[in-house]
Amino acid sequence: MPTREPPIILEPITTSSDQNAALIFLHGLSDEAAGVSDIGAQIQSSSRLPYLKYVFPNALENRDMMTRAWYVQSRLAPKPVPRPELEDDEDEDGLLQSVAYVESLISKLANEDSIPLHRIIIGGFSQGMAVTLLLSLISAKFAGKLGGMLVVCGYLPLEKRISQLRADHGLIDGQTPGRTKICILRGKADVLVPERYLIIAKDRLAEAGYTETEENDRSASLVIKEYEGVGHTITGRMISDIATWLEQIIPEK
């Protein structure tokens, strides 16, 4: 069995127990925690969210793909395939195993660090977004209970299985959001994850009760922001917008 590298942890600059909060952020395919931990370092260096703890987990080395991955990646076609049998099978087992691992990280933050669930944010880039959105919709432990989901340049996997997976975990469409907010950031020039996957995710999230409103509406359960000329990457402007959204969702008390 492959062993998992431990997460990279950035401890909060201030340590008041009244203000503690955490962000778990998952890297993308063929990357590692070190590849995204600069998000936390940049936010900390700007003196924003000094009370926030950052957790950057590592995916396992995937033997089928011979790289680090949260699951075996299926093809993301720019247009729907003409026949369902031509679609790639998705790695449901790998996805659910990754969801379970992230759930264990959430439980550790809640139980060992005494961070309230509504002040824990889960996020991810590319494959990390896929695992995060799946958790937000099917987790019997945490759906609707966390502060938010912050996802960048990815998609919602197992789209045709979501309803059954939700039912299996006792979740009902239209009742998920609770206090949880979702923020989706995407580069308009992203050719690795075509735009149609954003539409699929938005439609499926709407079925689960997440409604899109204006970006500056703090009551919004779903915010989507796209960036002109940006591809499959995280830019400095995105990181600044991430910090702004986090300040709204988990403000200093």
Most confident of 21-35, 68-82, 157-171: 21-35
Position 172 scores a pLDDT of 77
Could you report the per-residue pLDDT of 160-191, keeping only the tens digit for each?
899 899 889 888 776 656 779 999 999 999 99
Average pLDDT over residues 145-162: 95
Helix (H, G, I), strand (E, B) or coil at 181: strand
How far apart are the C-alpha atoms of 91 and 93, rounded to whole Å? Answer: 6
pTM: 0.93
- Which are the contacts of 155, defined by CB distance < 8 A and separation ≥ 6? 76, 129, 130, 133, 193, 197, 198, 200, 201
Write down the CATH number for the domain with range 8-249. Answer: 3.40.50.1820
The CA angle 240-129-192, to the nearest 5 degrees, is 95
DSSP collapsed to 3 states, 19-64: CCEEEEEECCCCCCHHHHCHHHHHHHHCCCCCCEEEEECCCCEECC
Could you report the per-residue pLDDT of 218-248, keeping only the tens digit for each?
567 899 999 999 999 999 999 999 999 999 9
Position 230 scores a pLDDT of 98
Residue type, 126: S
How far apart are the C-alpha atoms of 137 and 67, rounded to whole Å? Answer: 27
Q: Which of 29-43, 55-69, 93-107, 162-176 has the lowest mean pLDDT?
A: 162-176
- Domain spans of the chain, in order of start: 8-249
Residue type, 148: G
Q: CA 171: distance to chain centroid?
A: 19
Give the confidence band of 142 by pLDDT, cuts at 50, 70, 90.
very high
Residue type, 216: N
Q: CA 162: distance to chain centroid?
A: 16
